[in-house]
Amino acid sequence: MKNILEVKNLNKKYDNFELKDVSFSLPEGMIMGFIGENGAGKTTTIKALLNIIKKDSGEIQLLGRDHLKEEKQIKEEIGVVLDDMFFPEILTARDINRIMKDVYKTWDSNLFNQYLEKFLLPSNKPIKTFSKGMRKKLEIITALAHHPKLLILDEPTSGLDPIARTEVLDLFQDFIQNETCSILLSSHMTTDLEHIADYITFINQGKILLSKTKDEILEQYGIVKCREEEFQKIDPKDYIRYKKNKYQYEILIENQQEFKKKYDIKTIDKMTLDDLMILMIKGEKSC
Amino acid sequence: MEIIISNSSKIPIYEQIKEQIKGKIVTNELKAGTLLPSIRNLAKDLRCSVITTKNAYEELEKEGYVTMIPSKGIYVAEINKELVKEEQLNKIENFVDKAVTMAKMNGIEEKVIIEMIHILYEEDSENEKYSRS
Contacts of B51 in chain A (CB under 8 A): 30, 198-199, 213-215
Q: Is A114 on the interface with B (CB under 8 A)?
A: no
Convert the pLDDT of each residue in B80-104 to its tens digit.
Answer: 777 778 888 898 999 999 999 999 9
Query: Residues 27..46 of B with a Cβ closer than 8 Å to A: which?
Result: 40-41, 43-44
Convert the pLDDT of each residue in A129-150 to its tens digit.
Answer: 998 889 989 999 999 999 999 9
Contacts of A177 in chain B (CB under 8 A): 40-41, 44
Q: Is A197 on the interface with B (CB under 8 A)?
A: yes
* Closest CB from B10, B14, B49 relative to A196: B49
CB atoms B51 and A30 under 8 Å: yes
Fold observed for domain B13-76:
Arc Repressor Mutant, subunit A (1.10.10)
* ipTM rounded to 2 decimals: 0.78
Q: How many CB pairs under 8 A join A and B?
A: 46
Domain ranges of chain B: 13-76, 81-130
Contacts of B13 in chain A (CB under 8 A): 215
Mean pLDDT computed over A57-85? 92
Q: A25 CB contacts (<8 Å, ≥6 apart)? A: A3, A5, A6, A7
Convert the pLDDT of each residue in A196-210 to its tens digit.
Answer: 999 999 999 999 999
Convert the pLDDT of each residue in A207-261 to its tens digit.
Answer: 999 999 999 999 889 999 988 888 888 888 889 999 998 888 999 999 888 888 8
Q: What angle do CA A227, A233, A239 make, to 5 degrees?
A: 85
Contacts of B5 in chain A (CB under 8 A): none
The answer on pLDDT for A50 being more than 70 is yes
Q: A207 CB contacts (<8 Å, ≥6 apart)? A: A20, A21, A22, A41
Q: Suggest the residue from A172, A196, A214, A220 to mutate for an interface test with chain B (most B CBs closer than 10 A).
A: A196
Contacts of A218 in chain B (CB under 8 A): 12
Domains of chain A: 3-212 (3.40.50.300), 221-285 (no CATH)
Q: What angle do CA A120, A124, A126 make, to 5 degrees?
A: 95
Query: Residues 17..36 of A with a Cβ closer than 8 Å to B: which?
Result: 29-31
Q: Is A165 on the interface with B (CB under 8 A)?
A: no
Q: Across all residues in chain A, what is the average pLDDT? A: 91
Rounded to whole angstroms, the Cα distance separating B79 from A100 reads 54
Q: Suggest the residue from A1, A178, A212, A219 to mutate for an interface test with chain B (most B CBs closer than 10 A).
A: A219
CB atoms B55 and A215 under 8 Å: yes
- Give how far Cα A104 sits from Cα of A58, A108, A155, Å: 29, 9, 24
Biggest CA-to-CA distance, chain B: 59
Rounded to whole angstroms, the Cα distance separating A267 from A233 reads 15
Selection from A216, A58, A77, A213 nearest residue A150 by Cα: A77
Rounded to whole angstroms, the Cα distance separating B69 from B67 reads 6
3-state secondary structure of A263: coil
Sheet of strand A249-253, all strands in order from the earlier edge strand to the far edge: A268-269, A222-226, A249-253, A241-244, A284-285
Convert the pLDDT of each residue in A95-126 to its tens digit.
Answer: 999 999 999 999 999 999 999 999 999 999 99
CB atoms A31 and B49 under 8 Å: yes
Residues of chain B with confidence (pLDDT) below 70 = 124-133
